Structure 1
Amino acid sequence: MVIGVDIRDLKLAKTGQKTTLEELCKQFRLMEGPTYQFHFFDTSLPIYTGRNKFMLMLEHIRQQLWKQIMLPYKAWSKQCDIVYCNDYFAPYFHFGYKTVQVFHDAFFYEYPQYCNPIWLQLFKRIAVPAARRSAFIITPTEYAKQRVHHFTKIPLEKIVAIHQAPKTIEPGTAAKNESIKIAWLPTNQNIPYLLHVGVFEKRKNIPTLLQAFKQLKESGYPHQLVLVGKGNGKMNSDDTQNILATIEALGLTNQVVMPGYIPDEQLGLVYEHASLYVFPSINEGFGIPILEAFQHNLPVLVANNTCLPEVGGDAVVPFNPYEATDMVKKISLVLNDPALQASMKEKGRARLQAFNWEKTATQLLAVFEQAIRK
């Protein structure tokens, strides 16, 4: 079987979508041999990521030229049986190959006000029709599968839920971490902290987390809050200004640490030294930080909605993401109960065993084989 993998998105994607493509490419390279041959298709052209409206419109056009002309040509020239696209869009026309594409979520239907209008129209007029022609659609959770089916009406039997996994920790990372010193970590001043990792998008619900954190401080807890990440630079969904305004309005300027994105080896240390991880998002397609927190032996609290309970299972403590008081109640419950923390850590380690990239890649290859048989 000859499989073409579109990796152009690695120049653009961030957080979970980038992690997924990077980790799958690693697994595919390990699996290459007599049974599977892979071709990783990329463009040599740079991708514009600024905020100029004209340039963004031009970039959307260039993306579709890649998807609908260059990628099909490359796949045809390499005699691919399957073309795999990790970023919602796949070629509409098939020249001797079948397509499998990923819908990480249904945000574009659920929150159209957060989307670039041009991108949204391209999604509805190109990505969804192409998905209907694809052999299969991949989603990261059963929740996302049901939502994609609900909005697109693509038959459920054509949508396959395959779980993702945390970012791979390279051998020797722990040893290297011992020599790394992160000056801004609150623990350097013997201050405990709560942790959130993710892009500053509106759906991440960070202002409500800040309101809960303010109540926690007023109750006498010494903790600080570390928000790893930054805005996505998109006019419709970036929540950075609202987050900064909320911090100032609540008088939390000296209590909230915002380091931006940080390297993986540092991120591991940030997880390891936190008291617990809080995930207040009101909508997720998967939620890789849950597994990253399990990976670093950290108690995890999540919003009781969308896919987060599916991913966390019995290892997480859920809360109402729309009620800061409930969030405070559950955070206090965990902070005040060492036995509960130990139980959550043990369950997190057990839960983590169900998620690994080799398993994900193997399941995906099985989908490719089924596509060929169809």
Structure 2
Amino acid sequence: MPKPLKIAVDVRDLRLAKTGTRTYLEELYIEFKKLETDGLRFCFLDTSIPVYTGSNKLLKLTEHARYQLWKQIVLPLKAFFKGCDVIFCTDNFVPLVHLGYKTIPVFHDAFFFETPQNYGRLWLWLYKKTAIPAAKRSPFVVTPSAWAKKQINHYTGIGNEKLVVIPEGPKTLADNLNAEDANQLLNSFSLNPQSYLLHVGSMFKRKNIPALIKAFAEIKASGYPGLKLVLAGPTPSTQTDTDYQQIINSIADAKLQQDVIITGYLSNTQLGLLYKNALVYVFPSVNEGFGIPVLEAFSYGLPVLVANNTCLPEVGGNAVLSFDPFDTDDMSTKIKLVLDDKQLRDDLSSKGIERLKLFSWHNTALQLIEVFKKAV
């Protein structure tokens, strides 16, 4: 019987990732387990040492050291002793050393190069000294969109022949609360079904949420008395990349404290319920590597509006209405166009459901397996 192909999957990131990178790893973990056969085995490798996620500077430095120890020594040894053929890491960093295996990293975007001011100097240094050289030693580097591939090639010099575009899928959400609990959740935010615009995501600067609030203020000034804006998602843990205070100030300046709802962290069930009852989804980000919430909104049949830049038109295709994220007049005009035209909302909804058929984590996993096979 031939030896099975053994893939080591680094799952340590599940201990600290909170946004799209966590979704990526969680969903692939589920799909990889389903796809195991006698000829294909996955080894999910994790650390036994607790991961520090606090703000103490000394402990954060210690965590940086632990992270590199994991990536460059512990993970390689674990994969070697388990006889793995490939190490797959979804968080940019793969081992520099190769002990009889190949490495495949995922580069989700080029944010480290595009907005270096949003990252610590040590982290940037480690990225350039370990992640980039290790990626160049890898047979392939996975990236989620043609836009991300273009940017990564531009900033890192990694060849286009090595960069493999594999799209992502929507996060698996549950909206199976009973009617009483669902009403209780909506009531807790003073919301009615089909009466709010929705944005989902952490409050990073690139999300451009203050501009969305300004556009919403313009919409409210022209009518729509019952309309609200829901900003669903946690605040960033880093002080360098958060727009939280500016968001609070923008809400106060526009006197929209009763009409803009900041939910904070939500469970998957709660988030699913907010998608299910929203009227329109708006994504004004000025930089994305993929944009998973676009697919999540499609899965709930929401009409979707996105910024006309980076990967968002690529992901949304003809199923979205786009606007200039740097022009709040254009943003508010496009949102009102959708609010005022039920036929347009229905058309966008139908197109979104159809476009979603092109994306799934099952397909992502299958395409990754083909890359693993080519690598060895």
Q: TM-score, normalised by structure 1?
A: 0.96
SS of alignment partner, residue 161 of structure 2? helix
- Residue 340 of structure 1, CA deviation: 0.4
Alpha-carbon separation, structure 2, partners of 1:15 and 1:260? 13
User: Which residue, out of 15, 21, 29, partners 2:19?
Assistant: 15
1:148 lines up with 2:152 in the alignment: yes
Asked whether the 8 Å contact 1:280–1:321 carries over to 2, the reply is yes
Q: Secondary structure at the match of 1:149?
A: helix
**Alignment partner for residue 64 of structure 2, among 52, 60, 72?**
60
Q: Which residue of 1 aligns with 2:308?
A: 304
Change (3 A) 1:179 1:355: farther
- Report 1:262-281 matches (<5 A): 262-281=266-285
Q: Is 2:241 the counterpart of 1:237? A: yes
Deviations along 1:242-282, whole A, 9 cap, x unmatched? Answer: 11121112211111111112111111110111110000000
What residue in structure 1 maps to residue 195 of structure 2?
A: 192
Where in structure 2 are the equivalents of 1:36-55 lying within 5 Å? 36-55=40-59
For the pair 1:212 / 2:219, whether they are aligned, the reply is: no
CA contact (8 A) 1:98 1:134 kept: yes
Moved segments of 4+, more than 3 Å: 173-179, 185-188
Identity of aligned residues (%): 51
Cα pair 1:6 1:84 within 8 Å, conserved: yes
Count how many residue pairs are aligned between Structure 1 and Structure 2: 368
Q: Provide Cα deviations, 1:132-171, integer angstroms capped at 9, x if missing partner.
A: 00111000101101110010111100000000000124xx
1:191 is displaced (CA, Å) by 7.6
Equivalent residues of 1:67, 1:89 under 8 A apart: yes
2:242 match: secondary structure: coil
Structure 1 residue 230, shift from structure 2 partner: 2.3
Distance in 2 (CA, whole Å) between partners of 1:52 and 1:332 is: 46
Does the 8 Å CA contact 2:175/2:276 hold for their aligned counterparts? Answer: no
5+ residue gaps in structure 2? none
Which residue identity does 2:219 align to in structure 1?
A: L
Is the Cα contact below 8 Å between 1:300 and 1:316 reproduced in 2? yes
Please say if residues 105 and 142 of structure 2, whose CA atoms lie closer than 8 Å, have aligned partners that are also in contact: yes
Contact 2:175 2:270 in 1 (8 A): no
8 A Cα contact 2:194 2:278, kept in partner = no
Give how far 1:175 is off.
Answer: 4.2
1:365 and 2:369 are equivalent in the alignment = yes
Amino acid at match of 2:355: R
Letter in 2 for 1:242: Q
Secondary structure, aligned partner of 2:124: helix
Map of 2:292 onto structure 1: 288
- Which blocks of at least 5 consecutive residues in structure 1 are unaligned? none
Q: Which amino acid aligns with 2:121?
A: P
Letter of the structure 1 residue corresponding to residue 268 of structure 2: D
Alignment of 1:127-146 (within 5 A): 127-146=131-150
TM-score by length of 2: 0.96
Which residue pairs with 2:340 in the alignment?
336
Report Cα offsets for 1:277-305 as digits up to 9, x if no partner: 00000000000000000001100000000
> How far apart in 2 are the matches of 1:52 and 1:98?
36
Question: In structure 1, how many angstroms separate the alpha carbons of the residues matched to 2:94 and 2:176?
Answer: 41
* Distance change in 2, residues 1:109/1:177 (3 Å): farther
